[in-house]
């Protein structure tokens, strides 16, 4: 359960979030909205990457600002720019690094890394330099390295921006099969059209909060 309570935030004196209060308990939640409407800022508060100027954010009852480390163990954050997330020289090592926290056995780590790479269509690239992957392959690697650790909550910021149609569809299926709570920020409206709940943001506020059908229809109207 994620709870935003009376959130306000400004960057350099410019307000970007205004009095946002929300309880997110559904399994799959989409957040859409115009560029600059505050989606990423709000999502980054879920794992303490941004601390709100006013109000509180809690995850399973833990105040994020005061318990960043504990919260981050349970919240996997997938950045829109995969270069921010890829650390190790090879593709397999990058996944293995993510696994060190939850799997102490080296051989088991390797097996799990290879299995997840196979699942994400990167099996043939396991020993390739991670930085030489294409943009979309890097995005898949960044996703795989978070999903493999099975965090309780996954926050994905524009996860399909670099993906081709086949991989976007594959990701949609991966998301459909996840047991974890998922919060996805996206401009790809098809990605969230079967989610449980969709929020539409405008100028730092949540202006629509509904099922995907009515919420996306309203958003399309707003953007036309
Ligand atoms: N670290 C920062 N320093 C200064 N301003 C920032 C910072 N991060 C975000 N902003 C500003 O806050 C506003 C909201 O940005 P945010 O990234 O939350 O929007 P968004 O809805 O995710 O946009 P997009 O769809 O373009 O990714 C923007 O005007 C942005 O310039």
Q: What is the pLDDT of residue 101?
A: 84
What is the CA(73)–ligand 1 centre distance, in A?
25
- Mean pLDDT for the chain? 93
User: Looking at the predicted structure, is the pLDDT value of residue 22 above 90?
Assistant: yes
Q: Is the pLDDT of residue 99 over 90?
A: yes
Residue-level pLDDT at 176: 87
Longest dimension (CA), the chain: 54
What is the model's pLDDT at position 86?
Answer: 85
Q: 9, 39, 52, 206: which to mutate for ligand 1, most atoms within 8 A of CB?
A: 39
In the block, residue with structure tokens 């921010």: 84
Candidates 16, 53, 156, 187: which one to mutate for ligand 1, based on the most atoms within 8 Å of Cβ? 16
Answer whether residue 8 shows pLDDT above 90: yes
Which residue has its alpha carbon closest to ligand 1 atom 7? 11
CA distances from 43 to 4, 36, 54, 103, 175 (A): 10, 13, 15, 28, 18
Sheet holding 197-202, edge to edge: 75-78, 153-157, 181-185, 28-33, 197-202, 205-210
Look at ligand 1, atom 17, and give the residue with the nearest C-alpha.
Answer: 40
* pLDDT, position 133: 87
Block residue for tokens 């989606």: 39
Q: How confident is the model at residue 11 (pLDDT cuts 50, 70, 90)?
A: very high
Please name the residue that has the structure tokens 């202006």.
207
Q: How far is the CA of 13 from the centre of ligand 1 (A)?
A: 13
Helices (H) and strands (E) in the chain, counts: 7, 10
pLDDT of residue 175: 87
Give the span between the Cα atoms of 188 and 108, in whole angstroms: 36
Is residue 31 predicted with pLDDT exceeding 90? yes
Res. 83 pLDDT band, cuts 50 70 90 = confident
Q: DSSP of 1-63, one letter per residue?
A: -EEEEEEEEEETTEEEEEEEEEEE-SSEEEEEESTTSSHHHHHHGGGTSS--SEEEEEETTEE
* Contact status, residue 134 vs residue 82, Cβ threshold 8 Å: no
> For ligand 1, atom 8, which residue shows the shortest CA distance?
41
Domains defined for the chain, CATH in brackets: 2-223 (3.40.50.300)
Nearest to 63 by CA among 8, 10, 150, 5: 5
Compute the distance between CA of residue 184 and CA of residue 193 in angstroms, rounded to an integer.
11
Please name which of 192, 197, 126 lies closest in space to residue 156, comparing C-alpha atoms: 192
How high is the ipTM of this complex?
Answer: 0.97
């Amino acid at each position: 359960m994620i709870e935003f309570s009376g959130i306000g935030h400004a960057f350099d004196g410019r307000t970007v979030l205004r009095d946002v209060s929300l309880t997110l308990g559904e399994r799959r939640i989409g957040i859409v909205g115009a560029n600059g409407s505050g989606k990423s800022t709000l999502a980054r508060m879920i794992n303490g990457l941004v601390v709100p100027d006013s109000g509180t954010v809690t995850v399973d009852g833990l105040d994020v600002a005061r318990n960043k480390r504990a919260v981050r163990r349970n919240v996997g954050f997938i950045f829109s720019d995969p270069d921010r997330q890829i650390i190790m020289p090879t593709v397999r090592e990058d996944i293995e690094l993510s696994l060190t926290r939850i799997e102490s056995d080296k051989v088991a780590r390797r097996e799990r890394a290879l299995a997840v790479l196979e699942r994400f269509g990167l099996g043939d690239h396991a020993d390739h330099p991670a930085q030489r992957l294409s943009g979309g392959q890097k995005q898949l690697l960044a996703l795989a390295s978070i999903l493999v650790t099975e965090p309780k909550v996954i926050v994905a910021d524009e996860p399909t921006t670099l993906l081709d149609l086949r991989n976007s569809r594959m990701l949609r299926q991966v998301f459909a099969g996840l047991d974890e709570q998922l919060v996805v920020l996206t401009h790809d409206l098809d990605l969230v059209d079967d989610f449980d709940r969709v929020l539409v943001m405008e100028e730092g506020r949540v202006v629509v909060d509904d099922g995907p059908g009515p919420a996306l229809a309203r958003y399309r109207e707003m953007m036309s």
